Amino acid sequence: MDKKKFTRTLVTAALPYANGPIHLGHLAGAYLPADIFVRFKRLKGEDILFICGSDEHGVPITITAEKEGVSPKVIIDRYHEMNRKAFEDFGMSFDNYSRTSLPLHHKTAQEFFLKYYQNGILKQKKELQYYDEKAKMFLPDRYLVGTCPHCKSEDARGDQCENCGSYLNPTDLINPKSKITGETPILKETTHFYFPLGNYQERLEKYIAEKDKQEGWKENVLNYCQSWFKEGLQDRAVTRDLDWGVKVPVEGFENKVLYVWFEAVLGYISSTKEWAEKQGKPEEWRKYWQSEETKYIAFIGKDNVVFHTIVFPAMLMAWNDLSEEKYILPDNVPANEFLNYEGLKFSKSRGWGIDLKDFLEHFPPDPLRYYLASILPENRDTDFYWRDFQAKNNNELADIFGNFVNRTLTFTNKHFNSQVPEIKKLSELDEELIKQLPEFKNRIEALYEKIKIKDALNETMNLARLANKYFNDSQPWKTIKEDYDACATTINLSLQLIRTLAVLLSPVIPFTSEKIFKLLNIEDEDLKKWDGCDETKLKAGHKINQPEIIFTKIDDKVIEPYLKSQEKTEVQSVKNQKTETKSNVIDIDEFKKVEIRVAKVIECEAVPKSKKLLKLKVDLGFEQRQVIAGLAEFYKPEEMIGKKVLVVSNLKEAKLMNEISQGMILAVEDENNQLKLVTVDENLPLGSLLR
RNA sequence: GGCGAGGUAGCUCAGUUGGUUAGAGCAGUGGAAUCAUAAUCCACGUGUCGGGGGUUCGAAUCCCUCCCUCGCUACCA
């Protein structure tokens, strides 16, 4: 295996977007597993660099700024600092936490862009885009408001209607207005650069297959990639008409910036450069990005897979084709699924979930780290439950691990004058325990190496359980009266076990491990390292400190406010609605909402390029409407003309294949899945309402 | 509608190159013990492995089909 050639590791964690606070879902997706992995590697004394930073460009930030009437800088400064601090309090051990608004990052991103531009990699395409003549700027989708063609809601955005949830193109909007000036924008031609992702598809597929073979990629990640490849990679625009961002360094394009997806991933590189500068060795970053001896692991959540397995590698390939300085590509992208909150998705707009910052105001970081690590969505979506958090903290951290530490230290304090007693003889039980330590260490190590963090933690806790069993079975409270030497051995080994557990658990609960080292009066850094943590290194006679409780239990009263606040949230009511609609029974009022009328088809043609759709004009007596119906497989257009049909006349308007549909024609499906029109008595007048 | 993932114990989740009586933690029941944060240790599971069908000596695992959840996507209206 060529695995052995790696002499150092580069780890990046997805750059959090500086438009809001970090919440627990983010932690479980990318940051905590990355941090645990990195801490483990550092404990082993390996050369590893851990890079992150804030992603500070893009339209959502400018929108937030507009809303608050401040500059985007105010927004990014706020959230960059808030998240940096929250990460620090949570124990994230980044070597560098940078931000993409730094000049260094702008320079790096422009360098990449220019390399592509000057070598003819990028395509230019002209397109029409809304332009605000008063503000003298092109309007991003989100800066457009207008009437939704589907639900007639008047404040739909250019990209999506929040009222009905449908995705829109800016040109779909009826009566579009600029969000900035309120003026009606005009369509104006603009030119954008595109990155030809499709040109790299074959190499990307090969690259992923190869890395998977070497590193064993996660199945979910491979599946996401497969589905992108299957659809075929498309050109992606790399520029936007915006003010806020990295300027396009080309004459005539001064008013455009690089699209965030293009420059944000490069933030990993610029953050590494910043780190190198801080070290006083400005070229040191190359050791991590441009050396075949470096293994690169990118921790992300599943929403980021395409950028890290396809877009970013393609960009680096393109660069490497043109330069002597060649970048390494991600060797592994261990993306997690999502963490939900009490059974539902985290949702900022609905106020569902809890921010890291708020959490840490009420609880210390280690119980959260422990709990999240034990429920990481490594294979599928998982849930954060307050009850479960409380249970794991109380039953596992406090009762199993905390109590073992406490009972041992207290015993040592009481019977051995706070000194590590001497081992004079070993019982079978003692020997068995000593034998098991390296076995546990090796199993846990192997799991961490495979980034199976949940399993590693579980195995570590098994050792804590074993520790309690050993203590129980040895009965030192009895032997202290009957067999002093046996008791001394039990306590000696129990103290050794505490050190072993403190080391093994330190990637997950670093603050507590440090506290335990203090209780054990361990200052020698060698005794805090991974290697040798399975050996009995505490010397007889070593003085330890007074015992302290290392984990406090969480009382019901502390949890209750969180449980109660859920009941009131909007999301909960959405869930209730959902379950209600599941039942098929509706009451008469609901039915009365539906207006069904008799109509006559007066025109009908097939919708071009469509298999199923017919475009009809129907006469409702009082008005004529266009309806799009999925009947093309069952009726020819000419058959339809003149037929009297039933039409739902108060249905939300919808757009299908760019055609407006203002109603629904009723049809039934027969036993062969064929649709048949519902026919009506010829004598009924047009517009008659079904009762 | 299409594609992908998931549906395993009361709860949270492991487990598929097909192989004895399907696992862990938590919760629950009973017991032991009393050094310790009323902590610990031991014992205890009739689970239709989402439903149905098939392949096989043998299926949680492979195939078909249906139902439900989630994600992406689309020409439901």
> How far, in Å, CA of A428 to CA of A469, rounded?
14
Strand-strand pairing, A47-54 and A96-99: parallel
> How far, in Å, CA of A373 to CA of A367, rounded?
10
- H or E element, residue A276: helix A267-278
pLDDT at position A102: 97
pLDDT at position A160: 65
Q: Which residue has the higher pLDDT, A228 or A488?
A: A488
Nucleotide nearest A648, from its CA to each C1': B77
- A137-138: strand order across its sheet: A137-138, A123-132, A186-195, A236-237
> How far, in Å, CA of A374 to CA of A62, rounded?
37
Distance A389 CA to B59 C1' (A): 37
Distance A15 CA to B18 C1' (A): 44
Assess contact for A382 and A376: CB atoms under 8 A: yes
pLDDT at position A648: 78
Amino acid identity at A120 = G
* Cβ < 7 Å from strand B, A residues 153-182: 167
* Cβ < 7 Å from strand B, A residues 178-237: 220, 223, 227, 230
> How far, in Å, CA of A318 to CA of A253, rounded?
22
Q: In the numeric block, which tokens belong to residue A408?
A: 């041992």
Amino acid identity at A167 = Y
Q: Please report the ipTM that was assigned to this predicted complex.
A: 0.88
Q: Which residue in the block uniquely carries the two structure tokens 């959540």?
A: A301
pLDDT tens for each residue of A250-302: 998 988 999 988 999 999 999 999 999 999 999 999 999 999 999 999 999 88
- Among candidates A411, A402, A412, A443, which has minimal Cα distance to A552? A402
Strand-strand pairing, A174-178 and A144-147: antiparallel
- Among candidates A25, A55, A50, which has minimal Cα distance to A39? A50
DSSP string over A140-152 = -GGGEEEE-TTT-
Q: Which of A233-242, A317-326, A599-608 has the highest mean pLDDT?
A: A317-326
Distance A52 CA to B21 C1' (A): 51
Report helix, strand and coil shares of chain A as percent, to nearest 5: 45, 20, 35
Q: Which residue in the block uniquely carries the two structure tokens 């048949």?
A: A676
pLDDT tens for each residue of A611-629: 567 777 888 778 888 777 7
Q: Which of A175-179, A260-264, A665-669 has the highest mean pLDDT?
A: A260-264
pLDDT tens for each residue of A505-516: 999 999 999 999
> How far, in Å, CA of A212 to CA of A405, rounded?
42
Assess contact for A505 and A497: CB atoms under 8 A: no
Nucleotide nearest A455, from its CA to each C1': B14
Q: Kindly report the CA angle at A537 between A534 and A539, in degrees rounded to 5? A: 155
> How far, in Å, CA of A648 to CA of A591, rounded?
12
Please say if the pLDDT value at position A476 is more than 70: yes
pLDDT tens for each residue of A58-72: 888 988 898 899 999
* Cβ < 7 Å from strand B, A residues 3-32: none
Q: pTM higher than 0.80, yes or no?
A: yes
Q: Mean pLDDT over all residues of chain A?
A: 85
Assess contact for A178 and A188: CB atoms under 8 A: no
Least confident window among A126-130, A211-215, A222-226, A605-609: A605-609
- Nearest residue to B36 via alpha carbon and C1': A407
pLDDT tens for each residue of A21-52: 998 889 988 999 999 999 999 999 999 999 99
Assess contact for A376 and A447: CB atoms under 8 A: no
Distance A225 CA to B73 C1' (A): 14
Distance A420 CA to B33 C1' (A): 25
Please say if the pLDDT value at position A383 is more than 50: yes
Distance A302 CA to B56 C1' (A): 38
pLDDT at position A561: 82
Q: In the numeric block, which tokens belong to residue A381?
A: 């979506």
Work out if A575's Cβ lies within 7 angstroms of strand B. no
> How far, in Å, CA of A157 to CA of A147, rounded?
9
* Cβ < 7 Å from strand B, A residues 498-527: none
Work out if A347's Cβ lies within 7 angstroms of strand B. no
Amino acid identity at A641 = I
Q: Which residue has the higher pLDDT, A590 or A235?
A: A235
Q: In the numeric block, which tokens belong to residue A36?
A: 């645990």
- Among candidates A521, A515, A522, A526, which has minimal Cα distance to A544? A521
Please say if the pLDDT value at position A4 is more than 90: no
> How far, in Å, CA of A321 to CA of A324, rounded?
8
Amino acid identity at A613 = L
Nucleotide nearest A394, from its CA to each C1': B37
pLDDT at position A351: 75
Q: Which residue has the higher pLDDT, A46 or A586?
A: A46
Nucleotide nearest A665, from its CA to each C1': B77
Work out if A134's Cβ lies within 7 angstroms of strand B. no
pLDDT tens for each residue of A453-463: 988 998 899 99
Work out if A379's Cβ lies within 7 angstroms of strand B. yes
pLDDT tens for each residue of A97-137: 999 999 999 999 999 999 999 999 999 988 888 888 887 77
